[in-house]
Structure 1
Amino acid sequence: MTEQSPTGRLAGRIALITGASRGIGAAVAERFAAEGAHVVLVARTQGALEELDDRIRAAGGTATLIPQDLADLEKLDVIGPALFEKFGRLDIFVANAAQLGFHGPLGHAAPKDWDKTFTVNVTANHRLIRTLDPLLRASDAGRAILVTDRVGHVPAAYWNAYAASKAAVEMMGRLWAAETLRTNLRVNLLDPGPVATALRGKAFPGEEPASQRQPADVAAAFVDLALPGCTRHGELVTLC
């Protein structure tokens, strides 16, 4: 892994990443830290967060851990005030965490599965936007990256609540971008395409992970959208 550089492209930036304990979230966290950012890592699995923290610190980076289940919505509201007290601002928000939920015919999904998928994929992101928006606006170059999926804008059978929730995330991102045109905040959507993650493994259990791009392969695209000099706004960036 590349060692963190104090003159990296994200030097001095504060970046919060959800779903950070594994997959794309972990890869982005390590890449951001290597570029000089202090990363705030949110995920429900504390052990995995600690292992990631060890890797980041071994490479010369720094991190703050927030072991948090995004389905516990009330606790998300305190993240913004806690970050303000500690850092005074937030420069980058990567909304990466997502849940697949039931993969099958639309009419076969149990209401509790549908609701849980929307809670994690949509409502939690709204709560985070609500608590983090003032901090991102306080940054000299706030950047928000909402991770989406092709099935959120191109209908595909059997993707159920996951596809519907990603469509909702895309509309939230576009609304947020429209509301921040005259600010220093830039909001974009990123569709990384097929990547070997645990979520994809659940959707395609017979697929060989080595046949797909790895999480580290898409991390550079996140850096590009997080840079202070990035001017893209309200766009859907696709890597496939």
Structure 2
Amino acid sequence: MSEISQTRPLDGKVAVITGAGRGIGRAIAVAYAQAGAAVVCSARKEGELGVTLALIEKAGGRASIFTADVVEHAQMLALFDHAVATYGGIDIVLANAGTAGEGRKLQKSDPAQWRETIEVNLVGAYNTVHAAIPHLRARGAGKIIVTGSGSRHRAMPGLSAYASSKSALWMMAQVLAVELEEFNISVNELIPGPVKTAMTRFGEQSFPPQEWIKEPEDVVPLAMFLATQPDRGPTAQSYSLMRRA
């Protein structure tokens, strides 16, 4: 194996990342670009995407930004059309956009906000992968990575919408993996565990004392592992950085 392939294992690849404006998505976008991929960074806020783009360019990487809301299917179609028009195809999709919701116990939750959490985390991921699949099939192979959560197997008060959305997302990923296996497209789940981001609102919730509380960059090695597996590599698998109770 050459030195170039060791240091830039994603050379020639094109990655599309939703929720790339901050936190985990931004850290992975920068890392994928440093590994040689051309990265299309998407989120709802153009200002945050601009910061991500600046970090990638400062590191010598290639990237473009595309403002879009995962809840809007037409915007996801436009996102992947942009990626193909700009870089010629798509190899890696990280469905990372999400929201933790309002954090209220179910009885006191707001129905509209509860539904919104489901729409962003589940329907948004559906819209993302649904729009991506034709382009991945045209490429002859590809990788879909969904950002899951340990909340789907650890019940915590105030997270009913979030946990429900992530549980459904995991089942969707498993079904999709079976459906796409014949096309050399893998579908796997990445569970970051507790990470210090704006979404997790650190200081407002507690975790077991043995839990690994991470920075966004701590998730990068696992994200890189999933992006660099063989075309006929693992699929329908969940990879977790969270300690199970």
Residue equivalent to 1:43:
43
Distance (Å, rounded) in 1 between the aligned partners of 2:74 and 2:94: 20
Shift of 1:116: 1.1
Shift of 1:76: 2.0
Give SS of 1:201's match: coil
Residue equivalent to 1:16:
16
Residue equivalent to 1:79:
79
Letter in 2 for 1:115: R
Structure 1 spans left out of the alignment, 5+ residues: none
Structure 2 spans left out of the alignment, 5+ residues: 207-211
Residue correspondence of structure 1 range 170-185 to structure 2 within 5 A: 170-185=170-185
Letter in 2 for 1:42: S
Residue equivalent to 2:223:
222
Q: Spell out, residue by residue over 1:67-97, the C-alpha distance to the aligned partner (whole angstroms, 9 max, x if none).
A: 1232344322322333333333210000111
Residue correspondence of structure 1 range 155-234 to structure 2 within 5 A: 155-201=155-201, 204-205=203-204, 212-229=213-230, 231-234=233-236
Shift of 1:139: 2.6
Q: Spell out, residue by residue over 1:36-90, the C-alpha distance to the aligned partner (whole angstroms, 9 max, x if none).
A: 0011000111111111111111111010101123234432232233333333321
Shift of 1:225: 0.4
- Report % sequence identity: 33
**161-170 or 106-115: which moved more?**
106-115
TM-score calculated relative to the size of structure 2 = 0.88
Distance (Å, rounded) in 2 between the aligned partners of 1:154 and 1:137: 35
Letter in 2 for 1:58: K
**188-197 or 223-232: which moved more?**
223-232
* Contact 2:143/2:227, CA 8 A, preserved across alignment: yes
Letter in 1 for 2:58: A
Letter in 2 for 1:224: F
Residue equivalent to 1:33:
33
Residue equivalent to 1:239:
241
Shift of 1:163: 0.7
Give SS of 1:199's match: coil
Letter in 2 for 1:182: E
Shift of 1:134: 1.2
- Cα 1:19–1:49 shift into 2, 3 Å: same
Shift of 1:126: 0.9
Q: CA RMSD in A?
A: 2.1
- Structure 1 segments, 4+ long, off by >6 Å, are none
Residue equivalent to 2:138:
138
Distance (Å, rounded) in 1 between the aligned partners of 2:237 and 2:156: 22
- Cα 1:140–1:223 shift into 2, 3 Å: farther
Residue equivalent to 2:209:
none
Distance (Å, rounded) in 1 between the aligned partners of 2:63 and 2:133: 21
Distance (Å, rounded) in 1 between the aligned partners of 2:229 and 2:153: 28
Shift of 1:228: 4.7
Q: Does 1:64 align with 2:64?
A: yes
Shift of 1:220: 1.1
Q: Spell out, residue by residue over 1:95-117, the C-alpha distance to the aligned partner (whole angstroms, 9 max, x if none).
A: 11111112122222211101211
Give SS of 2:226's match: helix
Q: Spell out, residue by residue over 1:105-144, the C-alpha distance to the aligned partner (whole angstroms, 9 max, x if none).
A: 2222211101211121111111111110011122344011
Q: Does 1:101 align with 2:101?
A: yes
Residue equivalent to 1:152:
152
